[in-house]
Amino acid sequence: MLAVALCGAAPLATAGPAVDQLSDCLVKSTTAADKTAVLQWTFTALAQHPELKQFSNISAEQKMTLDKKLAQTLQRILTEQCSAQTKAVIQAEGMQAVGESFQELGSITGDEILKKPEIKQQLQGVLRYVDLNKLVTTFLTPELWNKLGVVR
Distance, CA of 25 to CA of 29 (rounded, Å): 6
The reported pTM is: 0.70
By percentage, how much of the chain surpasses pLDDT 70?
Answer: 88
Q: What is the pLDDT of residues 68-101, one digit of tens each?
A: 999 999 999 999 999 999 999 999 998 989 988 8
CA angle 110, 116, 117 (to 5 degrees): 150
Give the C-alpha distances (Å, rounded to integers) separating 152 from 131, 138, 147, 148. Answer: 20, 13, 11, 11
Does the pLDDT at position 149 exceed 80?
no
